[in-house]
A and B are shown apart, each in its own frame.
Chain A
C-alpha cells in the first residue's frame, strides 16, 4: 500500500518539475501567424552534375521500383524512398528535414511554402514541364504570386458512387448523400477526414446561396456551423465512414454501403470484383486532389532533385504512376503510353472536367476567397468540428 502512495507522490513531483521546466523553455513565439507571407528564397538558376543520391518523400504508390530503378540507372542518382499516408505526416517529416523532394497535396503544400521548408522551382530547368496541362500550372496550391513552387504530378476527383442494384433512380448530384440521405438511411458512406467538411460546404455553396460561400475551403464561423449542421444531419444516415480504400470497397461489396463519396480507383476495383457500382462527377462539381513535387530548401542534392522532378512527369513515368495510383496524369503525352481507355476513364486533360474539381487546400484564418472583413476557420478548427460531427 505504502508503495502505491510513494508512486503517486513521485508522479506528482515529476509532473510538477516538468511543468516548471516547461514554463522556463518558453521561446516567446506568438501562438498564431494569420495568413502567410512566403519567405524570400532564391530559385535554382542552373543545373549541375548529379550528386549521386536523392532522398524522396512520397505518397504511398508514387515512387515504386518500376520507375525509380530506371531513373537511378539513367541519372546515377541513388534514390531512397520514404512513404507517408497523410498530408500531416508529410509536413511533419519534411519539417524535420533529411528529404530532397516531396509529393505534396494541396492541403500540405502551402504549409511547406509558408514555413520555408520548400523553395521556388525554376520550371525552365524541368524540360517536361512544358507538356504539363496548362490548367494545373500557377494554381493557388502550387504557386505564390506567379512563382511555381513545384511540378504538378497528377490529380483526381472525389466521385459520387452508388450501387446500381440498390439505388434507383440513378442520382445526378450530391443531394442524395445530404438532403436525400434518409432514403438510404444506414447505407450512406462518407470520407473520414476533416477535409470532407469542404464537400458539405460545396453542396451548401450550390444549394444555399444565402450563406455566401464562395470557396468551400474559406468558411467563416457561421458558414462552418452550417456545414457542420448539414454533416450532423447526414451522420444520422451514415452506416460508416471510410478512410482507407479497402474498407469502402468491402462495404460496397457486402452491401453495407450503397451510396457515398469515392475515388476512381475504388470504383474500378469494386467493379473488377463484380460489385455493381457506378461513379460520376456530378455537374455541380466536387472536391479532389492535385499533387505537386517540391524541392526542400535545405536539400544537398538539388541537381538530382530536379532530375527526379523531370523524370516523374516524363510521359513514361507519369503514365506508370497514374495507372498504379489511379489518377489523372499531369503530362498529356502520358496518355499515349497508358493502357487504352485509361485517360478517358480518368478524364485526363479534360479542362472542363478539371474545372469542376475544387482541389484540397489548407483552410487558413485569412480567407482563401479574398474576404478581408472576417476571419476564416483554420484546419485545426475543422478537425475539432469533425470530431464533433462524429459525436
Chain B
C-alpha cells in the first residue's frame, strides 16, 4: 500500500504540480515559477475542448461497441459451449493479446486503405470508409475487445444455471430472463470491462496516428507538447484531463453500486 502510494500517487502528484510551471523559451528547461497559464490556455483555447470531446466520444463508442460485441461471445462461452470448446474459445480470445499492438494497428491500416479489402467491398455499394474517426473506433474496439470479453465471461460463469432454470420455470421467456436476470447480474462485469476499454482508449495515441487520418486525440496533444514542443508543464496540464475524466467516470460507476460487487 505504501509502495503504491510512493510509486504511483507521488508521480501523479508530481505531474499535477509540474502543470503549474513553465519552461524557458530557448533551452526548454523547466522554470519553477508558480502560475496557472497552462490551465488558462487549456480552458480558453477551443481546440482543447474539441479534442477532449472527440476523445470522450471515441472512448464511449469503443466501449459501447465492445459491450455489444462481447456479450454474445461471452454468453456462448459461459453458458452454451462445452468444457472443451470453452477452453478453445478462451485461448482464441486471448490469442490476439500475444500479437504486437503495432502489427494489429498496421493490419487495420492496410484494411482501410483505398485499395484495401474494406473499401473493395464497400465501393460497389457506393460507400467509402477511409482513414478517420470511424476507422479509429473500429480499430480500437478490435484491440480492446478481449478486455471486455474476459470480465463478462467471468461474470456470466458465476451465474448458476439453476437461476436461469428458475426464471424459465416461473414462465419467463429467453428475452425476459436476459433482461431481468442476466443483465442485472452482469452489470458489475460490464462496468469492470468498460473501465478497461474506456481508459485504454482515453490514453491511446498510436492507433489514431495510423488509421485516424488527420484526427488527433488527447494522447496526441500530450505527446506533441511534451516531445515536439518540449513543453512538459503544458503536457502535464493536458494530462490531467483524462485523469479527471476517469475520476468522474469511476465516481459515476460507483454510484451505480457496481464497484461494491467486485
A→B interface (CB under 8 Å): 1, 4, 10-11, 14-15, 17-19, 22-23, 25-27, 29-34, 36, 86, 88-89, 91-92, 95, 110-111, 114-115, 186, 193-194, 235, 238-241, 243, 247, 250, 254-256, 362, 364-365, 378-380, 383-384, 386-388, 390-391
Does chain A have a CB within 8 A of B9? yes
B20 CB to closest chain A CB (Å) equals 7
Chain A neighbourhood of B131, CB < 8 A: 239-240, 256
Chain A neighbourhood of B36, CB < 8 A: none
Comparing B111-119, B154-162, B197-205, the segment that makes contact with chain A is B111-119
In the complex the two chains form, what is the Cα distance from A92 to B227 in whole Å?
10
Closest A-chain residue to B254, C-beta based? A4
- Given A18-B17, A383-B224, A384-B229, A254 and B34 contact (CB-CB distance below 8 Å): no
CB pair B32 A31 closer than 8 Å: no
Cross-interface CB contact of B214 among A95, A110, A383, A390, cutoff 8 Å: A390
Chain B, 82-117, CB within 8 A of any chain A CB: 109-110, 113-116
Closest B-chain residue to A386, C-beta based? B224
For chain B, the count of residues having a C-beta within 8 Å of the partner chain is 55
CB pair B228 A88 closer than 8 Å: yes
CB pair B17 A15 closer than 8 Å: yes
Does chain A have a CB within 8 A of B63? no
CB<8 Å pairs between A and B, sample of 24: A1-B259, A1-B260, A14-B9, A14-B10, A15-B12, A19-B17, A23-B34, A29-B31, A32-B25, A86-B227, A88-B230, A111-B28, A115-B27, A193-B228, A238-B214, A239-B130, A243-B209, A250-B113, A380-B25, A380-B231, A386-B228, A387-B51, A387-B221, A390-B220
In the complex the two chains form, what is the Cα distance from A18 to B32 in whole Å?
13
Does chain A have a CB within 8 A of B139? no
Closest A-chain residue to B34, C-beta based? A23
Chain B, 207-262, CB within 8 A of any chain A CB: 209-210, 212-216, 220-221, 224-225, 227-231, 234, 254, 259-260
CB pair B228 A111 closer than 8 Å: no
A187 CB to closest chain B CB (Å) equals 9
Chain A neighbourhood of B10, CB < 8 A: 14, 18
CB pair A256 B230 closer than 8 Å: no
Chain B neighbourhood of A388, CB < 8 A: 45, 47
CB pair A235 B214 closer than 8 Å: yes
Does chain A have a CB within 8 A of B167? no
Q: Which 6 A-B pairs have the closest CB atoms?
A: A383-B229, A254-B113, A115-B27, A18-B13, A15-B13, A22-B17
CB pair A383 B17 closer than 8 Å: no
Does chain A have a CB within 8 A of B55? no
In the complex the two chains form, what is the Cα distance from A255 to B115 in whole Å?
8
Does chain A have a CB within 8 A of B176? no
A258 CB to closest chain B CB (Å) equals 10
CB pair A240 B26 closer than 8 Å: no
Closest A-chain residue to B12, C-beta based? A11
Known pairs A14-B13, A362-B26 / 15 extra A-B pairs, C-beta < 8 Å: A14-B5, A14-B9, A15-B12, A17-B13, A89-B227, A95-B27, A111-B26, A114-B26, A194-B229, A239-B131, A379-B229, A383-B225, A384-B41, A384-B45, A391-B216
Closest A-chain residue to B26, C-beta based? A114
CB pair B5 A380 closer than 8 Å: no
Chain B neighbourhood of A1, CB < 8 A: 254, 259-260
CB pair B26 A95 closer than 8 Å: no
CB pair A254 B116 closer than 8 Å: yes
- Given A14-B5, A240-B214, A92 and B228 contact (CB-CB distance below 8 Å): no
Closest B-chain residue to A239, C-beta based? B213
- Given A25-B32, A26-B32, A379-B229, A33 and B17 contact (CB-CB distance below 8 Å): no
Contact with A along B111-137 (1 / 0, CB 8 A): 001111000000000000011000000
In the complex the two chains form, what is the Cα distance from A250 to B21 in whole Å?
41
Does chain A have a CB within 8 A of B16? yes
- Given A26-B32, A235-B214, A383 and B47 contact (CB-CB distance below 8 Å): no
CB pair B227 A254 closer than 8 Å: no
Chain B neighbourhood of A32, CB < 8 A: 24-25
B130 CB to closest chain A CB (Å) equals 7
Chain B neighbourhood of A27, CB < 8 A: 32
CB pair B221 A10 closer than 8 Å: no
CB pair B214 A364 closer than 8 Å: no
Cross-interface CB contact of B26 among A86, A186, A241, A364, cutoff 8 Å: A364
In the complex the two chains form, what is the Cα distance from A186 to B131 in whole Å?
10
Closest B-chain residue to A246, C-beta based? B106
Does chain A have a CB within 8 A of B68? no
CB pair A380 B17 closer than 8 Å: no
Closest A-chain residue to B212, C-beta based? A240
Cross-interface CB contact of B22 among A4, A31, A254, cutoff 8 Å: A31
CB pair A92 B225 closer than 8 Å: no
Does chain A have a CB within 8 A of B33? yes
In the complex the two chains form, what is the Cα distance from A238 to B14 in whole Å?
38
